[in-house]
Structure 1
Amino acid sequence: MDKMISVVGHIALDYIVDVEKIAGKNESSPIIDYEEYPGGGAANIAVAIAKLGGKSQLISPAGTDFSSSGYEKLLKEACVDLSHLYSIEDLKLSKAFIFTDREDNQTTYFYWGSSSKFKELEPEPVDFVHLATADCVYNAKISQVAGFVSFDPGQDLVTYSKENLEIILAHTDILFANRHEISRVSEMTGKSFTELKAMIDVIVVTYDAEGSRIYTGNEEWAIPVVSVKAVDPTGAGDAYRAGFLLAYTRGYSLPTCGKIGSTVASFVVQTRGCQTSLPTWDEMKFRYEVNFGILEAEN
């Protein structure tokens, strides 16, 4: 029986806009094309876990356009548990507007919308929680009432106070970060990487095309990326964490969790949109075994 994985963070709509060039101040630029995709780190992870056959629950403030945008229907069809959503009466869903020019320069605008209400909400205790990019105040609260905490501060790390970051880290069992974020965590807390390893059971650091490294105690594993023809890297990190966490709750070894995460991520980068080409467990297993050999049995 799979453990319920509760995921805290944004439900967002992503607008991917191709432009001739990034417009400067008081300038306009032609739009070549644009697409709307379901996004938000927490929603991406919850949908990916569900698609893999796991049990996921989304904890997020849902804006006034949650139903009319079609997002509610999408999450229900994906079998994500929505019983812990907060209904927000006066704000729309979060939105990300991502503009990319012909030379792959990019600029992004993010509308927090309903997610700005996070800090006013009181969390209920949960068994196993993953804290995706979200509000540091809420994340600090829920980290103290959760049985097991996985934490990914992501790009929102710049909004964290030292106090809230330290509260969350004190309760964190698995920490996910890229190479820049792990340095920032060290700077903000005054703790070296060695000290962070001593206080957190598992630390996973991602290195883009170079893969990831998993640290626990005195052990360390390098996990390669699964090589595919990449179209859009957006959402790869969310897919990696979904695969890793589901494998972890199913009792797989840490290096296998990393390889499963890497395999799930490889599906996402093949198309545009964070939830467009998520794999089932069987699809993941087939690609895993092509790249890494026979997948060990669950513990």
Structure 2
Amino acid sequence: MIAVVGHTAIDHISRVVSFPPPNGSTTILDRKVYFGGGAANIAAGIATLGESCTLVSAVGPDFEGSEYDRWMKDLGIGQQFFVDPGANTPTAFMFTDPSGDQITFFEWGASRQFAGSPAPSFPFVHLATADPGFNVRVAEKSGFTSFDPGQDLHRYTASDLYSIIRHTSLLFANEHEVEGMCRTMDLSRDALIGMVPMALFTMSSRGSTLHHEGESHFVPAIPVTCADPTGAGDSYRAGFLSAYQRGLPPVECARVGTVTASFVVEKIGCQTNLPRWEDMKVRYENYFGRFDY
């Protein structure tokens, strides 16, 4: 069983003509509401791929019995939720320009419950965007720990990052997060890689690189028509972690992550086009060759 810790959120995703300057405005071309939250996206991806998953998250009183709640339960995701009766379920407002760049505004809402809550321990846990102190406490108590600072990186102090990375088995980050962690911790990229057994750095459409046992392995992205980049990183993590739980070698796991992400970007919404393992396998073999798992 894979435990995932972090945000469950409602995503408001908009396409805009361009990003406005300070004190300026822009035109919204399209806006829709989707299920989201980094941890919930990863949990949904893991469950759709067929692995057992529990989500540790925080929601408002509006969540129970909602369409999103029913969706999670239909997927078989276990829910260990903190409910804050005086806050909204976290909400993200994402704006994407024609070049694919994105700006996000995030309302923490009920996620404030993480800070004062007791931390559980798990044999296998992924720490997604959430309260830094809570994530540190979970990492200290757990076995295999995968860590992804995500868009909450700005909340982590250098002490937080050093504390959590000391207990991290697998570090996920995109290139901007790598730069931010190195700056906050006053480390070089190589020094950061050297602190963890495995590091997986994604580079959007330019693929990803796995650093493991002193070697680096580049995995190219799969060329697809991208409708929306939102959720690509979350689905990559879901694919990698599901494959790793099944005992696949890390390089194969990175390829599974790449294939899983290729499905998600073809539709708008982080959980709209999640693949089953069988679907992922077909596309994997089309691009990477035989896959006996």
Q: TM-score range by the shorter chain?
A: over 0.9
Matched, 1:45 2:34: no
The answer on whether the counterparts of 1:263 and 1:288 sit within 8 Å (CA) in structure 2 is yes
**What is the CA-CA distance between 1:135 and the residue it aligns to?**
1.1
Bigger mean CA offset, 188-197 vs 258-267 = 188-197
- In the TM superposition, 1:209-288 aligns within 5 A as 209-288=205-284
Q: Residue 7 of structure 1 is aligned with which of 4, 9, 13?
A: 4
The letter for the 1-side match of 2:70 is K
Residue of structure 2 in register with 1:124 after alignment: 120
Paired with 2:119 and 2:66, the residues of 1 have a C-alpha distance of 26
Residue of structure 2 in register with 1:67 after alignment: 64
Residue of structure 1 in register with 2:186 after alignment: 190
Paired with 1:20 and 1:189, the residues of 2 have a C-alpha distance of 36
Paired with 1:53 and 1:102, the residues of 2 have a C-alpha distance of 34
**What is the CA-CA distance between 1:187 and the residue it aligns to?**
2.4
Q: Residue 153 of structure 1 is aligned with which of 121, 130, 149?
A: 149
The answer on whether the counterparts of 1:197 and 1:217 sit within 8 Å (CA) in structure 2 is no
Matched, 1:174 2:170: yes
Paired with 1:192 and 1:26, the residues of 2 have a C-alpha distance of 36
The answer on whether the counterparts of 1:95 and 1:112 sit within 8 Å (CA) in structure 2 is yes
Relative to structure 1, the CA distance from residue 21 to residue 197 in structure 2 (aligned partners, 3 Å threshold; closer, same or farther) is closer
Bigger mean CA offset, 270-279 vs 92-101 = 92-101
Paired with 2:243 and 2:251, the residues of 1 have a C-alpha distance of 10
**What is the CA-CA distance between 1:189 and the residue it aligns to?**
2.1
**What is the CA-CA distance between 1:14 and the residue it aligns to?**
0.5
Paired with 1:42 and 1:10, the residues of 2 have a C-alpha distance of 5
Relative to structure 1, the CA distance from residue 183 to residue 276 in structure 2 (aligned partners, 3 Å threshold; closer, same or farther) is same
Relative to structure 1, the CA distance from residue 28 to residue 229 in structure 2 (aligned partners, 3 Å threshold; closer, same or farther) is closer
Residue of structure 2 in register with 1:54 after alignment: 51
Bigger mean CA offset, 93-102 vs 284-293 = 93-102
Bigger mean CA offset, 263-272 vs 120-129 = 120-129
Gaps of 5+ in 2: none
The letter for the 2-side match of 1:74 is W
Matched, 1:135 2:131: yes
User: Secondary structure in 1 aligned to 2:12?
Assistant: strand
Deviations 1:56-101 (A, max 9, x none): 110011211112542111100111111x211221111011112346
Paired with 1:189 and 1:282, the residues of 2 have a C-alpha distance of 41
**What is the CA-CA distance between 1:106 and the residue it aligns to?**
5.1
User: Secondary structure in 2 aligned to 1:50?
Assistant: helix
**What is the CA-CA distance between 1:202 and the residue it aligns to?**
0.3
User: Secondary structure in 2 aligned to 1:57?
Assistant: strand
Residue of structure 1 in register with 2:81 after alignment: 85
User: Secondary structure in 1 aligned to 2:272?
Assistant: coil
Paired with 2:30 and 2:202, the residues of 1 have a C-alpha distance of 31
Q: Residue 114 of structure 1 is aligned with which of 110, 117, 120?
A: 110
Q: Percent identity?
A: 42
**What is the CA-CA distance between 1:193 and the residue it aligns to?**
3.0
User: Secondary structure in 1 aligned to 2:271?
Assistant: coil
**What is the CA-CA distance between 1:22 and the residue it aligns to?**
5.5
